[in-house]
Structure 1
Amino acid sequence: MESTGGLREHKGGLREGGRPGAQGGWPEPRGGLRERKKEATRRALHEAAMRLSVEHGLDEVTVEAIADAAGVSRRTFSNYFGGKEEALLYGGEQRMRALLEEFATRPDDETSWTALRATWRLVHERFGDLDPQWAAQVRLARNHPSVLARQLAHYAEFERALTELIAARDGLPSAGLRHRVMAGAFMTALRVASVTWTEEPSTRSLAEVVEEALAEVAREYR
């Protein structure tokens, strides 16, 4: 395989010259030193998987190449991820987990929809520098059924978790139809906005497109 140097700058790609361990744009990892080191390794493997897949195409990228680019062994890769698709989607999953964590801390006097929109803005502030990686991930998922299937499964998992959190805000032990519809509308808005952002030939930011999508469904939940 040819050299895996930095990528050229282009919409939806990764920033030029970024090393897999540079971790630019990622929020500060939590926990003790051991956990921070583990998180740094996960991020390095994810960024290596992203960069190599954009440069060479996912089908041409091996787990060995990803591990080598991240400066770890094949065995170490297997300790963190079950395959290259899992490594590829790690960044997006972290965004969704951060969204769930942040939503659970929103003030009780906010409506659930207001809390969801505020949560999105806060999470985007933390991860916004990684928008080019997000766009690249969306494109790769669209073009590779194995990645898309895994991504949709994760979306469904996060939607179920979000549904339960919305119900909990209403003081209910289990979710009803309203909670499921709200969570589904929110997750669908994020997904459609992400795809639209990667397809439209404009210079709008991901945040602008997401805000427009959320506004389209907002009136029912104000």
Structure 2
Amino acid sequence: MGRGAAAGAVLGALVVLGATPAAGAELSEVIQLMAKFECYFINGTEKVRLVQRYIYNREQDVMYDSDVGHYVGYTALGEKVAQYWNSNPIITERKRAAVDLLCRHNYQFFPRFVMERRVPPSVSISLLPSSSQGGSARGLLCSVMDFYPAHIQVRWFEGQQELSGQVVATDVVPNGDWSHQLLVLLERPPRRGLSYTCQVEHVSLEQPLRRHWGLLRDNNPAVPMSLGDTGGTW
């Protein structure tokens, strides 16, 4: 039995600000109230769990867990609120029904937009100049942009040899629009006559995507050359 922890998550946030200050007056207080809804699924909709959290100024006050069946308070104020809500049969009945109305009902949309969503990355290579003026290039930067889901593998090659010891990568960063980005630096000054390849493997790709980069072999200043999605070196 595989658990899809938060296979779909429905998030709602409400930010409440104090009254708009008069002209020239300073804002004296900011109050933030957030309601967060989470749906957990096991074997599709065979078992569904709803978790709803109420967060006040970054501190969780109250939580409802459908597996528990009632509200639980985590602060002095939260305990009072939970006690009030638990004593109201209309509120508790609506919350129990939300497991079906919010989670199970919307599950049909989750596979298409979450679990089956595939967006291939765009990949480019750029030369990273040295921090010192007139120094040689620090290395090559592989920019992997706008992909989904987040899991991805990026490798650097010099010719046919994989380079790993001089590779530094950022964390996978969410863009806020269901896409992600990643920067992978090869901290190795590129040498003339050699080709360098940034290879990206992602679930959206039928085969690894490769970007190639090299320097011309002549007496002219170094000229970067970027090739496309070819499988071999040049």
Work out whether the TM-score is over 0.5.
Answer: no
More strand per residue: 1 or 2?
Answer: 2
TM-score, normalising length: structure 1: 0.24
Q: Which has the higher contact order (CA 8 A, sep 6+)?
A: 1
